[in-house]
Chain A
Protein backbone atom coordinates (compact mmCIF):
# COMPACT_ATOMS: atom_id res chain seq x y z
CA UNK A 1 0.00 0.00 0.00
CA UNK A 2 1.10 3.55 -0.66
CA UNK A 3 1.38 5.78 2.38
CA UNK A 4 3.28 8.61 3.99
CA UNK A 5 3.96 9.26 7.64
CA UNK A 6 4.70 12.53 9.34
CA UNK A 7 6.01 11.54 12.75
CA UNK A 8 5.78 14.97 14.37
CA UNK A 9 2.46 16.66 15.10
CA UNK A 10 4.24 19.94 15.73
CA UNK A 11 7.65 21.45 15.14
CA UNK A 12 8.79 24.55 16.99
CA UNK A 13 11.69 26.63 15.79
CA UNK A 14 13.02 30.11 16.43
CA UNK A 15 13.01 32.64 13.63
CA UNK A 16 16.27 32.59 11.72
CA UNK A 17 17.08 29.00 12.65
CA UNK A 18 16.97 26.13 10.16
CA UNK A 19 13.84 24.02 10.11
CA UNK A 20 13.12 20.43 9.19
CA UNK A 21 9.70 18.80 8.83
CA UNK A 22 9.96 15.04 8.52
CA UNK A 23 8.21 12.68 6.13
CA UNK A 24 8.71 9.01 5.40
CA UNK A 25 6.99 7.08 2.67
CA UNK A 26 6.02 3.57 1.71
CA UNK A 27 5.38 2.74 -1.94
CA UNK A 28 5.69 -0.21 -4.26
CA UNK A 29 7.61 1.31 -7.12
CA UNK A 30 9.26 4.65 -7.74
CA UNK A 31 7.83 7.33 -5.47
CA UNK A 32 6.36 10.62 -6.61
CA UNK A 33 6.48 12.87 -3.55
CA UNK A 34 4.98 16.26 -2.79
CA UNK A 35 4.88 18.89 -0.07
CA UNK A 36 1.96 21.25 0.46
CA UNK A 37 1.38 24.07 2.95
CA UNK A 38 -1.96 25.10 4.41
CA UNK A 39 -2.56 28.44 6.11
CA UNK A 40 -5.58 28.82 8.43
CA UNK A 41 -8.91 28.60 6.61
CA UNK A 42 -7.18 28.27 3.26
CA UNK A 43 -6.68 25.52 0.72
CA UNK A 44 -3.47 23.62 0.14
CA UNK A 45 -0.66 25.37 -1.67
CA UNK A 46 1.92 23.36 -3.59
CA UNK A 47 5.52 23.81 -2.42
CA UNK A 48 7.60 21.27 -4.31
CA UNK A 49 7.72 17.77 -5.74
CA UNK A 50 10.14 14.95 -6.44
CA UNK A 51 9.54 12.87 -9.54
CA UNK A 52 13.02 11.91 -10.65
CA UNK A 53 16.49 13.41 -10.91
CA UNK A 54 18.37 15.32 -8.24
CA UNK A 55 17.69 14.22 -4.71
CA UNK A 56 17.61 17.82 -3.50
CA UNK A 57 14.49 19.55 -4.76
CA UNK A 58 14.01 23.30 -4.48
CA UNK A 59 10.57 24.83 -4.20
CA UNK A 60 8.60 27.91 -3.35
CA UNK A 61 9.36 30.38 -0.53
CA UNK A 62 12.90 29.12 -0.04
CA UNK A 63 11.87 25.59 0.89
CA UNK A 64 13.70 22.51 -0.27
CA UNK A 65 13.37 18.80 0.31
CA UNK A 66 15.80 15.94 0.21
CA UNK A 67 14.78 12.61 -1.25
CA UNK A 68 16.57 9.72 0.47
CA UNK A 69 15.78 6.36 -1.08
CA UNK A 70 17.65 4.25 1.45
CA UNK A 71 15.82 5.86 4.34
CA UNK A 72 12.54 6.23 2.41
CA UNK A 73 12.36 9.83 3.53
CA UNK A 74 11.49 13.17 1.98
CA UNK A 75 12.13 15.76 4.67
CA UNK A 76 11.21 19.40 4.09
CA UNK A 77 13.87 21.95 4.98
CA UNK A 78 14.56 25.64 5.05
CA UNK A 79 17.87 27.23 6.05
CA UNK A 80 16.35 30.19 7.90
CA UNK A 81 12.79 30.11 9.22
CA UNK A 82 10.43 33.07 9.11
CA UNK A 83 7.50 33.74 11.43
CA UNK A 84 5.33 33.78 8.31
CA UNK A 85 6.28 30.13 7.65
CA UNK A 86 4.06 29.13 10.57
CA UNK A 87 1.41 26.90 9.04
CA UNK A 88 0.32 23.29 8.57
CA UNK A 89 2.51 21.21 6.26
CA UNK A 90 1.48 18.06 4.43
CA UNK A 91 3.60 15.46 2.74
CA UNK A 92 1.93 13.40 0.00
CA UNK A 93 2.72 10.51 -2.29
CA UNK A 94 1.09 9.75 -5.59
CA UNK A 95 -0.98 6.59 -5.56
CA UNK A 96 0.53 4.53 -8.37
CA UNK A 97 -2.43 2.19 -8.65
CA UNK A 98 -4.82 2.84 -11.51
CA UNK A 99 -3.04 5.87 -13.01
CA UNK A 100 -5.46 8.31 -11.40
CA UNK A 101 -2.83 10.76 -10.23
CA UNK A 102 -4.50 11.02 -6.84
CA UNK A 103 -2.35 11.92 -3.87
CA UNK A 104 -2.28 10.23 -0.49
CA UNK A 105 -1.58 12.70 2.30
CA UNK A 106 0.05 12.43 5.67
CA UNK A 107 -1.60 13.66 8.84
CA UNK A 108 0.18 16.98 8.72
CA UNK A 109 2.76 18.78 10.85
CA UNK A 110 2.13 22.15 12.42
CA UNK A 111 5.16 24.40 12.13
CA UNK A 112 5.40 27.15 14.72
CA UNK A 113 8.12 29.74 14.16
CA UNK A 114 8.63 32.06 17.12
CA UNK A 115 10.19 35.51 16.89
Chain B
Protein backbone atom coordinates (compact mmCIF):
# COMPACT_ATOMS: atom_id res chain seq x y z
CA UNK B 1 0.00 0.00 0.00
CA UNK B 2 0.91 3.63 -0.14
CA UNK B 3 1.42 4.05 3.58
CA UNK B 4 1.96 2.13 6.78
CA UNK B 5 -1.16 0.18 7.62
CA UNK B 6 -2.08 -0.85 11.16
CA UNK B 7 -4.89 -3.13 12.30
CA UNK B 8 -7.04 -3.07 14.25
CA UNK B 9 -7.53 0.66 14.61
CA UNK B 10 -9.25 0.07 17.92
CA UNK B 11 -9.09 -2.85 20.29
CA UNK B 12 -10.95 -3.18 23.58
CA UNK B 13 -10.04 -6.13 25.75
CA UNK B 14 -10.31 -7.30 29.30
CA UNK B 15 -7.52 -7.42 31.81
CA UNK B 16 -5.56 -10.65 31.50
CA UNK B 17 -6.36 -11.28 27.84
CA UNK B 18 -3.90 -11.68 24.97
CA UNK B 19 -3.82 -9.20 22.07
CA UNK B 20 -2.07 -8.94 18.74
CA UNK B 21 -1.54 -5.74 16.81
CA UNK B 22 -0.50 -5.86 13.19
CA UNK B 23 1.66 -3.53 11.12
CA UNK B 24 2.08 -3.61 7.36
CA UNK B 25 4.96 -1.27 6.44
CA UNK B 26 5.56 0.61 3.24
CA UNK B 27 6.74 -1.77 0.53
CA UNK B 28 10.52 -1.97 0.38
CA UNK B 29 11.11 -0.50 3.82
CA UNK B 30 13.52 -2.74 5.67
CA UNK B 31 13.44 -0.90 8.99
CA UNK B 32 10.34 -1.16 11.18
CA UNK B 33 9.67 0.41 14.57
CA UNK B 34 7.00 0.06 17.23
CA UNK B 35 6.21 2.93 19.56
CA UNK B 36 3.71 3.38 22.35
CA UNK B 37 1.95 6.68 22.97
CA UNK B 38 0.10 7.22 26.22
CA UNK B 39 -2.40 10.04 26.61
CA UNK B 40 -0.68 13.41 26.71
CA UNK B 41 2.75 11.94 26.06
CA UNK B 42 5.15 11.69 23.18
CA UNK B 43 5.71 8.35 21.46
CA UNK B 44 8.04 6.00 23.34
CA UNK B 45 10.21 3.53 21.51
CA UNK B 46 9.48 -0.16 21.98
CA UNK B 47 11.35 -2.22 19.40
CA UNK B 48 13.20 -1.94 16.10
CA UNK B 49 13.48 -4.52 13.32
CA UNK B 50 15.98 -4.53 10.50
CA UNK B 51 14.66 -7.16 8.14
CA UNK B 52 13.45 -10.14 10.10
CA UNK B 53 15.51 -9.62 13.22
CA UNK B 54 14.76 -7.52 16.26
CA UNK B 55 17.88 -5.37 16.31
CA UNK B 56 16.87 -3.36 19.37
CA UNK B 57 14.16 -4.39 21.82
CA UNK B 58 15.38 -2.21 24.65
CA UNK B 59 12.09 -0.34 24.88
CA UNK B 60 9.85 -3.32 25.59
CA UNK B 61 8.57 -2.71 29.14
CA UNK B 62 8.56 -6.34 30.28
CA UNK B 63 8.37 -9.91 29.04
CA UNK B 64 4.63 -9.70 28.42
CA UNK B 65 5.47 -7.77 25.27
CA UNK B 66 6.86 -9.50 22.22
CA UNK B 67 7.06 -8.68 18.51
CA UNK B 68 7.86 -10.66 15.39
CA UNK B 69 8.54 -9.94 11.75
CA UNK B 70 8.99 -13.41 10.26
CA UNK B 71 9.31 -12.50 6.57
CA UNK B 72 10.81 -9.07 6.91
CA UNK B 73 7.61 -7.24 6.03
CA UNK B 74 4.50 -7.46 8.23
CA UNK B 75 5.11 -7.26 11.96
CA UNK B 76 2.92 -8.30 14.87
CA UNK B 77 3.16 -6.88 18.37
CA UNK B 78 1.92 -9.35 20.94
CA UNK B 79 0.89 -8.52 24.47
CA UNK B 80 0.18 -11.27 26.97
CA UNK B 81 -1.84 -10.98 30.17
CA UNK B 82 -2.82 -7.41 29.41
CA UNK B 83 -3.01 -4.89 32.22
CA UNK B 84 -4.92 -1.62 32.43
CA UNK B 85 -1.62 0.24 32.22
CA UNK B 86 -1.09 -1.18 28.75
CA UNK B 87 -3.88 1.05 27.45
CA UNK B 88 -2.31 3.36 24.86
CA UNK B 89 -1.99 3.97 21.16
CA UNK B 90 0.56 1.65 19.57
CA UNK B 91 2.25 3.22 16.59
CA UNK B 92 4.20 1.48 13.88
CA UNK B 93 6.69 3.22 11.60
CA UNK B 94 8.92 2.17 8.75
CA UNK B 95 11.76 3.58 6.70
CA UNK B 96 14.16 2.42 4.00
CA UNK B 97 17.41 2.58 5.91
CA UNK B 98 18.21 4.22 9.20
CA UNK B 99 19.13 7.59 7.81
CA UNK B 100 15.93 9.52 7.36
CA UNK B 101 12.50 10.23 8.66
CA UNK B 102 10.15 7.53 9.88
CA UNK B 103 6.78 7.04 8.23
CA UNK B 104 4.05 6.32 10.75
CA UNK B 105 0.79 4.46 10.56
CA UNK B 106 -2.35 5.78 12.19
CA UNK B 107 -1.94 3.57 15.20
CA UNK B 108 -3.87 0.92 17.07
CA UNK B 109 -5.70 2.21 20.13
CA UNK B 110 -5.70 -0.44 22.84
CA UNK B 111 -8.05 -0.16 25.78
CA UNK B 112 -7.76 -2.66 28.60
CA UNK B 113 -10.80 -2.74 30.87
Contacts from A to B (Cβ < 8 Å):
34, 36, 41-46, 49, 90, 92, 95, 98-108
Known: A42-B107, A101-B99. 14 other contacts (CB 8 A): A43-B91, A49-B100, A90-B43, A92-B42, A98-B56, A100-B50, A101-B95, A101-B100, A102-B45, A102-B56, A103-B45, A103-B102, A105-B42, A108-B42
Q: How far is the CA of A34 from the CA of B93 in the complex (A)?
A: 14
Cα distance A28–B10 in the bound complex, in angstroms: 38
Chain B residue at smallest Cβ distance from A48: B101
B8-61: which have CB < 8 Å to A? Answer: 31, 33, 40-45, 48, 50, 55-56
Bound form: Cα–Cα A42–B4 in Å: 12
A59–chain B nearest beta-carbon distance, Å: 10
**Nearest CB of A to B33, in Å:** 6
Q: With A100-B55, A100-B56, A101-B95 in contact, do A46 and B101 touch (Cβ < 8 Å)?
A: yes
Total interface residues in chain B, CB < 8 Å: 27
Pair A42/B106 contact, Cβ less than 8 Å: yes
Of chain A, the residue at the smallest CB distance from B9 is A41
Q: Closest chain B residue to A90 by CB distance?
A: B42
8 Å CB contact of B43 from A45, A101, A105? A105
Determine the distance from Cα of A44 to Cα of B55 in the docked complex, in whole angstroms.
23
A-B CB contact pairs (8 Å), 14 listed: A41-B106, A42-B106, A43-B107, A49-B100, A95-B45, A100-B50, A100-B98, A101-B99, A101-B102, A102-B48, A103-B102, A106-B42, A107-B41, A108-B42
